[in-house]
Amino acid sequence: DLEIIQAIKESNLRSVEEITNFTKAGGGCGKCEDRLREILQATVNGLPVEPRKEEKVRRMTTLQKIKKIEEVLAREIQPTLQKDGGNIELVDVDGDFVTVSLRGACASCQASRTTLKEYVEKKLREQVIDTLIVEEAKP
């Protein structure tokens, strides 16, 4: 929510479509469009954004977190990377630190750091837990 609020304020975003184009939030399944609309209305009107009940207490066991990360990797991230001849593999999860290994074309791509932070980390934060930090495994 904080990244979206910041984007709305700094970039003067005024629609859910603009938020999605700018942040990529809501670009997948679209389930969060109502939440984006709530955040937009509150931010534009200068009101505080109320966290949803499930956001207030969002704790996962390590096993739940790993399963959810694997699910998001398989369903959304891997297919996108595979279109460009790359792939990604989960190496480890230690607290909020997620270690991955880029494969194929992604392993040697100069934009791999950007891919990790701006795509993989953002997608995992959106769909798993918003405190995750994605790092690439050291060779």
List per-residue pLDDT tens for the chain, 139 residues long.
788 888 899 999 999 889 988 888 877 767 788 889 899 999 888 888 877 655 444 578 899 999 999 999 999 999 999 999 999 999 999 988 999 999 999 988 899 999 999 999 999 999 998 889 999 998 7
46 and 91 in a single domain? The answer is no
69 and 129 in a single domain? The answer is yes
73 and 108 in a single domain? The answer is yes
What's the total number of domains in the chain? 2
80 and 121 in a single domain? The answer is yes
Regarding pTM above 0.85, the answer is no
Question: Could you tell me the CATH number of the domain that includes residue 45?
Answer: 1.10.10
CB 71 within 8 A of CB 79: no
Calpha distance 72→91 (Å, rounded): 15
89 and 125 in a single domain? The answer is yes
Q: Is the dihedral of CA 2, 132, 103, 114 positive or negative?
A: positive
Q: What is the dihedral of CA 114, 121, 126, 17, to 10 degrees?
A: 0
51 and 76 in a single domain? The answer is no
78 and 120 in a single domain? The answer is yes
The β-bridge partners of 98 are 93, 134
Question: What pLDDT is recorded for position 54?
Answer: 52
Domain assignment of residue 106, given as a range: 62-136
